[in-house]
Amino acid sequence: MIDDQAKQLRKAGVEAAKAGDKDRARQLLQQSLQLDPNNEAAWIWLMTVARDRREKLICLYKLLEINPNNTMGQEALASLNLTPDKLAEELGIKTTVPTLQPMQRAAPTPVIRAPQAAPETPQAGTVPVADPQRVAQAQAELDALVREYLAPFDGYTGIAWTRKTRSRAGERDSLVLRAYVAAGVAGALVIILIIGAVVILNNPAARTVLFAPTGTPTRTPAPPTATFTPTPGVTPTPSPTPELTLTPSPTVPPNIRPGSDAPEPTAIYPPVQERTIRDAVALMNQGRVEEALPTLVVEVTLVGTDFNPNPYFYRAMALARLGRLDAAAELLRTAERRLPEKPNEPSYAPLVNAGLAWVDALRAEQALDAGRRDEANALLRNIEDRAETAIAGDPRLELPYLALARRHRLVGDYDAAITALDEGLAVPELAGNVNLIIEKGQQYFDQREYDLAAYQAFLALYADPTAEAAHLLQIKTALAQDNPGLAVLLAQRYLFYYPGSVEGYTLLGEARVREGNFDLALEAYNQALAGGEDNPFTAEVLVARAQLYEQRRRYDLARDDYTRAYTLTDDLTLRARRMLAAYNAGNIRVAEEDARALLGAGVIPDAEIQLLQARILIDQAREGETAEFEQALNLLETASGSLSADLRPVADEYRARAQYNLGSYDDALRAINNALSAGETGSRHYLRGLILEAQGKDDLAARDYDWVMTWGTVYPYPFLPDARQRLQAIQNE
């Protein structure tokens, strides 16, 4: 019977697994599951000999599909920190696209046609398949047996019942024994009470202890203990205070005062008397630089003969924030040339030098990014001179310390950068300066000292709970530490202060992706894109959402997002991503256009583009179109030497497909074996089955078709019906 055969195959597979012969165990267990696909033990043992994590997850999915309450399955699911929905989502069970290697598509309909299937009769050397009528008959007989077994027993009908009139054997002796024991216990208690009474009556000290009144001590209420009042505002759970084990500890230095959740105007130093400039600076601190700039332009023109560097300085800072660094530097040099007009104002020169040091730091960074090293080196020397001059003139200015830190950071001298910031924080007036603290945290973050970076962000938020840069640094640090749960809480707190922040929703989406909450991640990305495409983070959000769509195999939506991002940025790397998304979405025309445009552009290796072009040729070629297959082989030959390790198996699979269609079966077999040695997929086993069948090696081909049939219960392979028909034809020969 089928059950006996499945049991024998399963038993042999278990023995092979225990002996360490995993390949044979997998083959036997797969054959067993073809006969008895709902056997939990077979899926558990197949899971133990799976080749990789994905096969293990597939076995676990099938096990829980059969019995959601299976203890071993539930324990395995919990150990992987997965739920049944997340398990199915990771495997892509609900999609109609088979799980293949990256950039892989299903194999086309083979050119070898399947022979006419013969009647199903067991043959020697193969696994027999039972006649459906006999199975149905056996099932009917089994149902009858079950109904008879479960029927209630009615053999008690007609029996007359009477009430018991006598005691059971030995019951009277048991009652007598219990009475003796109770009497003995009662007598012992009476004797103890009599002895105690005699002792108390003849002992005055004992009577005093028991019966004399005694005073009850009372405690004087202690003075109330001072308790801390929580800072107003929303504090997520767990607390945003980092749990640090390094030095410094997460305690707050006494010279840093706690800030308030209520937004407070940033103090301006040196003090500015002009109200219009103060209002413009307030707009700049709110990020509304474009609105502040016209006022500052007017103030510069109104300076006249009574020189004041403040309008020059703050207009230059506004231009720097807008990226107009050369204009900002020229404006500050104009102010520098006018310094001799006010030789008795000691605060003017330090302010101008601080501004020039900062703008030059930004210009040096820009020059390094553009590869203009000579220009950058000259600016780096200038930064140090001007910053030190500014500090000597007025150590209470924050900007020269920031400029020095940025300068040292650009050349990779992080220790010097931290030293410069510590010198600024040592100045009493700058002890709690949020900008210096955040910059110090950023320096630690760049060095991957994430605990120290988180501590600096904590200090900055202690001093100013609304400091946007500190919030962002905390979120990025949590993500860098692979703590997405904390990153979600921190992002939600940041969005409480800045509810419309595109960057905040982007980071929240990234944290949700890291958690595995793809639906919530998609919601966050959609929120980030709700503000339109004018935000500088829009392209970044589109790319993040496209990558999420790719994980969900929604390649058409990913292609659309890559197209929008490429339109906004003209970044060819985004066009390369669109090329791959378009290919996976079946939009061959767009993929071909992008491939031709990117070939030789240096954005991605030409070998990867040639591989894609070869795949398109093979996917689109029809039976008998030898020119297309030969052209694809030439492209694969050209690309093979430069492909990365993860793409070589894909190239081998497509090489095997081309050689199979050209009739070069030996070459095709070598190529597909190379691909399978790197990773097993349904399309590769199916293709090897076709090649082996074409070579007349039906027994070996049947093994590959068996593999496809087993995993076809999980993945809806488009070639599954043909594999089933071919396996039946081999078994019936």
- 2-94 and 532-601: same fold? yes
In CATH, the number for domain 532-601 is 1.25.40.10
Region 431-441: what's the mean pLDDT? 93
Looking up tokens 């997520």 gives 236
| Identity of residue 35 | L
The model's confidence at residue 575, banded by pLDDT at 50, 70 and 90, is: very high
| pLDDT over threshold 70, residue 69 | yes
Give residue 35's pLDDT. Answer: 82
Rounded-to-integer distance, Cα 517 and Cα 524, Å: 11
Q: Please provide the average confidence, as pLDDT, over all residues in the chain.
A: 81
Give residue 149's pLDDT. Answer: 39
Q: Dihedral through CA 489, CA 494, CA 495, CA 498, nearest 10?
A: 180
The model's confidence at residue 362, banded by pLDDT at 50, 70 and 90, is: very high
CATH class of the region 2-94? mainly alpha
Which CA distances in Å does 359 have to 283, 317, 379, 650? 20, 8, 10, 50
Region 24-37: what's the mean pLDDT? 85
Domain ranges of the chain: 2-94, 532-601, 623-732
Give residue 203's pLDDT. Answer: 61
CB atoms within 10 A of CB 121: 10
Cβ neighbors of 99 (< 8 A, separation 6 or more) are 54, 91, 92, 681, 682, 715
- Angle, helix 22-35 to helix 2-18, in steps of 10 degrees: 160
The model's confidence at residue 608, banded by pLDDT at 50, 70 and 90, is: very high
Give residue 126's pLDDT. Answer: 37
Region 467-494: what's the mean pLDDT? 94
Give residue 692's pLDDT. Answer: 95
Q: DSSP class of residue 222?
A: P
Q: What is the pLDDT of residues 204-229, one digit of tens each?
A: 555 544 444 444 444 434 444 333 43
In CATH, the number for domain 623-732 is 1.25.40.10
Long-range contact list for 691-699, CB < 8 A, 24+ apart?
691/656, 691/660, 691/665, 693/112, 693/726, 693/730, 694/112, 694/660, 694/665, 695/665, 695/666, 695/669, 698/730, 698/733, 699/125, 699/730
| pLDDT over threshold 50, residue 61 | yes
Q: What is the pLDDT of residues 678-729, one digit of tens each?
A: 999 999 999 999 999 999 999 999 999 999 998 888 888 999 999 999 999 9
| pLDDT over threshold 90, residue 732 | no
The model's confidence at residue 184, banded by pLDDT at 50, 70 and 90, is: confident
Give residue 45's pLDDT. Answer: 86
| pLDDT over threshold 60, residue 113 | no
